[in-house]
């Protein structure tokens, strides 16, 4: 998890690959990977949509890695279709205005569907490790809060009447719905009443199912078997967002396993004094005298690297200070960016070594 563009998807793929290569059964659940990364995992193109698990061909053939691409538009439909009794019922649900309003209220259809899909995966129990890549921080919180939103919806007194529950609830539902529809019919006209009737008959069971799933999902996230790796860049605003996000995760009851400063700029080291270098070069080549501008770019590049290195150190120091009890790991900026299986595997090994290394002084 973490702010936008910091390397969440890359690190999720890397962690999953490296763990699978060590012999575990792993699935990486990923959201909007770059084209090249999706290609490396073999989940690009039309086949990769709508919540189907694909198995990834590992370079050395060892281990088993699955990948699941949560496509923002298709996955919600898939979950609705999986929950509906018939294809017509599913289409009716997706088009129902009350359902559309409800899913908006639930705050992000994708986050919600992703939660439901993940919970199914978790309960199938076919994997030793599930690596979840999330959308940027703000949306990730919506994702975590989805179960409580359903609860709020269900605990709402009006919704209780509509959804019913048990025998008494069922009687209430019949009564309440009939009265409600008569009133609403006078107020809003026939179409609304028809949608409401559809909602009542088709969606109530499904929302309750979501609700049960959501509660179990929340428990799983808060259990010791789950933890978050929060990724940041060295930029001040990214570190700030990461700190707030990690706090929010903890309030939510999710264990933060580590923070990760990604794309750290290494120390460029000292550079020979400019005047000294000029003197040295000019003594060898007298023609250089009076034309020293060709060195400008090198000194400028060095200055920028040193500055970026300083920012990386600041980011690390701020996280250490703010979360003294949380491991703070780091990965250097790699060139080229890690986008093929080999590079991702190497990155994943570096990440696991730091995550699983001695707690003191993780470098």
Ligand X SMILES: Nc1ncnc2c1ncn2[C@@H]1O[C@H](COP(=O)(O)OP(=O)(O)OP(=O)(O)O)[C@@H](O)[C@H]1O
| Residues 6 to 35 in contact with ligand X, rule: CB under 6 A | 6-10, 32, 34
Report which of 259, 186, 204 is spatially closest to residue 227, judged by C-alpha positions: 259
Sheet holding 228-232, edge to edge: 228-232, 256-264, 327-332
Query: Tell me, what DSSP letter sits at residue 53?
Result: E
266 binds, among ligand X, Mg ion, none (CB under 5 to 8 A by kind): none
Check binding of 9 to Mg ion (CB under 5 A): yes
Cα atoms in the 13 Å half-sphere on the side-chain side of 293: 1
Q: Among residues 250, 288, 333, 349, which is the contact residue for ligand X, using CB under 6 A?
A: 333
Number of residues that bind ligand X (CB under 6 A): 18
| Interface pick for ligand X out of 75, 84, 339, 348 (rule CB under 6 A) | 339
Q: Which is nearer to ligand X, 136 or 268 (CB)?
A: 136
**Residue 85: which residues within 8 A CB-CB, separation 6 or more?**
none
Query: Which region, judged by CB under 5 A, interacts with Mg ion, from 4-12, 57-65, 312-320, 333-341?
Result: 4-12
Instruction: Give which of 269, 347, 336, 271 is closest to 309, Cα–Cα.
Output: 269
Binding mask 78-117 for ligand X (x = CB under 6 A): ----------------------------------------
Applying the rule CB under 6 A, the residues between 230 and 269 that interact with ligand X are 262-263
**Binder among 160, 194, 334, 349 for ligand X (CB under 6 A):** 334
CB nearer to Mg ion: pick between 117 and 213: 117
Instruction: Write the CB contacts of 324 (distance below 8 Å, at least 6 apart in sequence).
Output: none
**Do 312 and 264 touch, CB atoms closer than 8 A?**
yes
Closer to Mg ion at the Cβ: 29 or 196? Answer: 29
DSSP H helices, 22-64, are 35-41
Distance CA 39, CA 329 (A): 28
In the list 64, 71, 72, 136, the residue contacting ligand X (rule: CB under 6 A) is: 136
Residues that bind ligand X (CB under 6 A): 4-10, 32, 34, 136, 262-263, 331, 333-334, 337-339
């Amino acid at each position: 998890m973490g702010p936008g563009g910091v390397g969440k998807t890359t690190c999720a793929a890397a962690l999953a690959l490296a763990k699978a290569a060590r012999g575990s059964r792993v699935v990486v659940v990923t959201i909007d990977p770059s084209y090249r990364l999706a290609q490396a995992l073999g989940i690009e193109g039309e086949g990769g949509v709508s919540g189907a698990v694909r198995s990834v061909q590992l370079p050395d053939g060892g281990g088993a890695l699955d990948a699941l691409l949560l496509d923002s538009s298709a996955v919600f439909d898939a979950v609705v279709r999986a929950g509906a009794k018939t294809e017509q019922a599913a289409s009716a649900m997706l088009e129902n205005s009350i359902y559309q309003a409800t899913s908006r209220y639930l705050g992000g259809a994708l986050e919600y569907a992703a939660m439901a899909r993940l919970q199914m995966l978790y309960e199938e129990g076919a994997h030793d490790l599930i690596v979840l890549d999330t959308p940027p921080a703000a949306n990730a919180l919506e994702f975590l809060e989805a179960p409580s939103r359903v609860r709020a919806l269900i605990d709402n007194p009006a919704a209780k009447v509509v959804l019913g529950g048990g025998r008494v609830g069922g009687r209430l539902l019949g009564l309440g719905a009939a009265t409600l529809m008569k009133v609403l019919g006078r107020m809003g006209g026939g179409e609304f009443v028809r949608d409401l009737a559809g909602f009542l008959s088709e969606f109530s069971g499904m929302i309750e199912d979501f609700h049960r799933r959501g509660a179990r999902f929340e428990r799983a996230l808060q259990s010791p078997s789950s933890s978050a790796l929060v990724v940041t860049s060295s930029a001040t605003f990214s570190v700030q967002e990461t700190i707030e996000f990690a706090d929010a995760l903890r309030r939510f009851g999710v264990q933060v396993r580590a923070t990760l400063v990604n794309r750290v700029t290494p120390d460029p080291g000292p550079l020979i004094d400019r005047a000294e270098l000029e003197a040295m070069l000019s003594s060898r080549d007298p023609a250089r005298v009076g034309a020293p501008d060709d060195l400008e770019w090198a000194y400028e590049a060095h200055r920028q690297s040193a500055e970026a290195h300083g920012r990386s150190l600041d980011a690390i120091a701020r996280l250490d200070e703010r979360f003294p009890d949380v491991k703070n790991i780091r990965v250097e900026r790699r060139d080229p960016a890690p986008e093929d299986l080999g590079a991702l595997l190497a990155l994943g090994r570096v990440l696991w070594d730091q995550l699983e290394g001695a707690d003191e002084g993780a470098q």
